[in-house]
Amino acid sequence: MTQFQIVRDGGTLQLQGYLQNGRGGGTFTFVPSPNFANEMLSLGYSDLSNEKLFVLALHDISTTYVRQMNALGIHPQSTEQLVTMGIHNVTVEYARDLQSLGFSGLAAEKLVTMRIHNVTLDFARELKSMGYNSVSSEQMVTMQIHSVSTDFIKEVEALGYSHPPIEQLVTMRIHGVTPDFIRTTRARGLGNLPIEQLVSLKIHGIVN
């Protein structure tokens, strides 16, 4: 039998159990921190049952995390939202770095959505480096949903389409206008068609 503790801001998990022949089991007890509950109350989070304190501790949500997010202008509306942020790894560093890239209005739900759809800092940075300086967080989410990668943009630009708008790139992906499709239209003598015409050809099945 072994015993150990996991100490979090919200309380302490006291665990005991066994490991034998590759199998294990055990029990745990959660001891909530009264100081944490009082501090969270001062930050605007009430109705903190032991169950809520346990979930906050489980996902390592600390008062420092809440204060640092608040300092960035991000104010999670509930403990449930804080837990969701923890589950999806919305870190203070992630929010701060996005703000340093010029993204504003990053409410908690926006950050969670960005994390869910894998809007990484590298993706945001590369878009900025490619001249997409006014791209929004919502546009980046839409781009990730429809697989508008920076590699896709580079391929399209290499075919002669200089700095295509985000909306056109998304429309291309939705309707299957790939670089190979563009090359096919050119091989059939249709020339360098505008993106909207390429999309129309694909929608109507004129070129496959």
What CA–CA distance (Å, rounded) separates 62 from 78? Answer: 14
Question: What pLDDT sits at residue 53?
Answer: 93
Sign for the pseudo-dihedral over CA of 61, 67, 72, 73: positive
What CA–CA distance (Å, rounded) separates 172 from 156? Answer: 10
Convert the pLDDT of each residue in 109-140 to its tens digit: 999 999 999 999 999 999 999 999 999 999 99
What CA–CA distance (Å, rounded) separates 172 from 179? Answer: 10
Rounded-to-5 percentages of helix, strand, coil across the chain: 50, 15, 35
Percent of the chain with pLDDT over 70: 100
| Predicted confidence band of residue 206 (pLDDT cuts 50, 70, 90) | confident
pLDDT over threshold 90, residue 6 = no
Question: What pLDDT sits at residue 204?
Answer: 92
Mean pLDDT across the chain: 94
Contact 24, 18 (CB under 8 A): yes
Dmax of the chain from CA atoms? 77
Task: Summarize the confidence of residues 182-191 as an average pLDDT.
Answer: 94
The residue among 14 and 170 whose pLDDT is bigger is: 170
